[in-house]
């Protein structure tokens, strides 16, 4: 019984790890283009100020 509980807990930890990793990858993929756009926006603003 103890072994099954340990296996379940390990499986849950693995699942959580996989889920959090995929969420991080998704967030990264969504944010990177926006960050590039943001940098371009800031560069154009600073160029306009200069």
Give CA–CA dist 50/33, Å, rounded: 26
Tokens of 9: 């807990």
Is the backbone of residue 30 left (phi > 0), alpha (psi -120 to 50) or beta? alpha
* pTM over the 0.95 mark: no
Domain that holds residue 29: 1-50
State the distance between the two ends of the chain, measured CA to CA, in whole angstroms.
71
Total domain count, the chain: 1
Q: Which residue reads 């603003």 in tokens?
A: 45
Q: What is the pLDDT of residues 6-49, one digit of tens each?
A: 888 988 999 999 999 999 999 999 988 888 988 999 999 999 88
Residue 1, pLDDT > 80, answer no
Q: What pLDDT sits at residue 44?
A: 93
């Amino acid at each position: 019984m103890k072994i099954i509980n340990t296996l379940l807990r390990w499986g849950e930890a693995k699942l959580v790890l996989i889920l959090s990793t995929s969420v991080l990858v998704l967030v990264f993929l969504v944010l990177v283009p926006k960050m590039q756009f943001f940098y371009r926006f800031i560069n154009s603003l600073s160029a306009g100020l200069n």
